[in-house]
Amino acid sequence: MKSSQHLLVRDLSTKHAFKASPGPARSSIRRHVCQASNQQQQPWSGAVTRRQLLESSSVLAAAVAVSMVQPDTAYAGMDRYVKRKKLDPLETYVPLVLEARERLATLDTVFVATPTVARQLMRSGPFSGLRDNIRALGQYASTPAAEGGSGLPEKDAQQLVSGFFRALEEFDLVLYNAVREAKAAQDKADKEARKKSESEDEDEEKSEASEAMVVDPAIGLDKEAAAAKLAVAVQQLDKLIATVPEDVLARSREVLEKVNRKAAAAAAL
């Protein structure tokens, strides 16, 4: 059952994978790599004496012995970096999350008629990088206030993130089931129409058969359940947005308003 659900969060991590732009952290890594490469390319300037070789061998043996009983601190540091990479400023994530929130709140007028379109809207635009943007907000929520975060316990911040994704996934699942049922009904109607068309000779009767092939896209949708799931998803997202400092949130809303005004002006042309 789980393999056939095509859940939203998994879709976001595969079909619409987030591609982060090169930031300060990546540039720093590149500089360190280039410096190390240049050092490695410097020519060898002299021969190694027997004494130097023995000393090097002793040092290497001691290092190996120590590494067998002590953790590699350099590797542990890199491991921490890989798991929790340095983030861009919070203001680079919040406007996109706010835009996704706007779209999510308007889906109540879309899914009631065309669940397929609603699912497509949840996989494009501000939803394309939503997974990483939400995780960034969660990470900032658990960052100390002195460092620009909200200072929440990390467990609480993680619960906000997972709670939103879970609610969004459940809403998407309701739509997915409706799309699947509508497709099955459409396939059945098409099959019956073809049989009837093959048995009829008059054009008028064929036209009536073709008209009967249209099936309501929301025929299998539980609209009350979908509306309830959507409301929960919006509420969970609002809880996460509430962790953003007021000044950052205000500036992010101004950015979103400017973008919306430009988009409206362009559409009016």
Taking only the tens place, the pLDDT of each residue in 115-131 is 999 999 999 999 999 99
Mean pLDDT of 50-73: 44
Q: Is the pLDDT of residue 134 over 80?
A: yes
Q: What share of the chain is helix, strand, coil (3-state, %, to 5)?
A: 75, 0, 25
Q: Are 76 and 205 in contact (CB under 8 A)?
A: no
Written as six digits, the tokens of 97 are 């999350």
- Taking residues 3-22, what's their average pLDDT? 42
In total, how many domains does the chain have?
Answer: 2
Whether residue 179 lies inside any domain: the answer is: yes
CB-based contact 137:93 (threshold 8 Å): yes
Note whether 147 and 201 are same-domain residues: yes
Query: Within a domain: residue 2?
Result: no
- Is residue 24 domain-resident? no
pLDDT score, position 82 = 41
Task: Identify the band that residue 191 occupies on the pLDDT scale cut at 50, 70 and 90.
Answer: confident
Q: What is the mean pLDDT of residues 61-80?
A: 42
Exposed, middle or buried by CB within 10 Å (0-12, 13-18, 19+), for 109? exposed
Assess contact for 172 and 179: CB atoms under 8 A: no
| Pair (55, 182) in one structural domain | no
Give me 244's structure tokens.
């953003």
Collapsing DSSP to helix, strand or coil, 116 comes out as helix
Residues 160 and 214 occupy one common structural domain: yes
* 79 located within any domain: yes
Residue 91 phi, psi dihedral angles, 5° rounding = -65, -15
Q: Tell me what pLDDT residue 254 has.
A: 95
CB of 118 within 8 A of CB of 112? no
Pair (79, 184) in one structural domain = no
In a domain, residue 11? The reply is: no
> Do residues 59 and 170 both lie within one domain?
no
Q: Which of 69, 86, 103 is the last residue of a domain?
A: 86
Predicted local confidence at residue 194, as pLDDT:
81
Task: Please give the single-letter amino acid code of residue 241.
Answer: I
Res 211: pLDDT: 54
Q: Distance from CA of residue 14 to its chain's centroid? A: 9
Expressed as residue numbers, the domain containing 68 is 51-86
- pTM of the predicted structure, to 2 decimals: 0.64
Are 215 and 185 within 8 A, CB to CB?
yes
**Same domain (yes/no): 57, 174:** no
Instruction: Clarify whether residues 110 and 200 are in a common domain.
Output: yes
pLDDT digits (tens, 9 = 90+) for 198-245: 776 555 555 544 455 778 888 889 999 999 999 999 999 999 999 999
pLDDT tens by residue, 81-106: 344 568 899 999 999 999 999 999 99
